[in-house]
Amino acid sequence: KVTFQPFRSTLMAATMLICFQAVARADDAALTSSQFADANALYGTHCAACHNGDRLGGMGPALLPESLTRLRGSMLNDVISNGRAATQMPAFDQVLNKTEIDLLASWLRQPLSETPSWNMANIIDSHTVFVEPNQLPVKPKFTADPLNLFTVVEAGDHHITILDGDTFTPLDRFPTRFALHGGAKYSPDGRFVYLASRDGWVQMYDLYSLQTVAEIRVGVNTRNVAVSDDGRYLMAGNMLPHTLVLLDARDLRPIKQIPVDGDHGQSSRVSAVYTAPPRQSFIIALKDFPEVWEISYADTPQPVYPGFVHNYEANMVEALDVQYGPFPVRRIRLDDGLDDFFFDQDYRYLVGAARNGRDGQVINLNIGRKIADIALEGMPHLGSGITFEYQGRPVLATPHLKDPKISVIDMESWETIKVIETLGPGFFTRSHENTPYAWVDVFFGPNKDAVHIIDKRTLEIVKTLRPEPGKVAAHVEFDRSGTHALLSIWDDDGAVIVYDANTFEEIKRLPMKKPVGKYNVFNKITYSEGTSH
Ligand code: DHE
List, for residues 107-140, the tens digit of each pLDDT value.
Answer: 999 888 777 889 999 999 999 999 998 899 999 9
Contact 388, 398 (CB under 8 A): no
pLDDT, averaged across the chain: 87
Residue nearest to atom 2 of ligand 1 (CA): 182
Query: How many CB atoms are located within 10 Å of the residue 18 CB?
Result: 14
The span from the CA of 77 to the CA of 102, in Å, is: 6
Check if 69 has its Cβ closer than 6 Å to any atom of ligand 1.
yes
State yes or no: pLDDT of 35 exceeds 90.
no
Residue 270 CB less than 6 A away from ligand 1: no
Instruction: State residue 418's pLDDT score.
Output: 96
Nearest CA to ligand 1 atom 14: 182
Out of 18-22, 242-246, 275-279, 356-360, least confident range: 18-22
Top pLDDT among 417 and 41 is at 417
- How far is C-alpha 18 from the chain's CA centre? 29
Q: Residue 86 — very low, low, confident or very high, per pLDDT cuts 50/70/90?
A: low
* pLDDT average, residue stretch 362-374: 93
The residues, any chain, with a CB within 8 Å of residue 94's CB and separated by 6 or more, are none
Contact 441, 395 (CB under 8 A): no
Does the pLDDT at position 205 exceed 90? yes
178 near 197, Cβ under 8 Å?
yes
Q: Stretch 178-201: mean pLDDT, rounded?
A: 94
Three-state SS for 382? helix
List the strands of the sheet with 460-465, edge to edge: 429-430, 437-441, 451-455, 460-465
**pLDDT tens per residue, range 151-170:** 999 999 999 999 999 999 99
Query: Quick one: average pLDDT of 279-295?
Result: 94
Q: What is the mean pLDDT of residues 307-314?
A: 39
Q: Ligand 1: which residue has its CA nearest to atom 40?
A: 182
Of 432, 388, 390, give the one whose Cα is nearest residue 531: 432
Helices 33-46 & 98-108, crossing angle to 10 degrees? Answer: 100
Q: Measuring from atom 10 of ligand 1, which residue has the nearest CA?
A: 182
Give, rounded to a whole angstrom, the gap between the first and last alpha carbons of the chain.
Answer: 35
Specify the length of the chain in residues.
533
The complex's ipTM works out to: 0.95
Indicate which atom in ligand 1 lies nearest the CA of residue 225.
Answer: 16
Strand partners, 474: 488
pTM of the model: 0.87
Is it the case that residue 422 has pLDDT exceeding 80? yes
Which residues, 6 or more positions from 58, have their beta carbon under 8 angstroms from its beta carbon?
10, 11, 13, 14, 15, 17, 49, 50, 51, 52
d(CA 253, CA 111): 30
Instruction: pLDDT band for 476, please (50, 70, 90 cuts).
Output: very high
Amino acid at 78: D
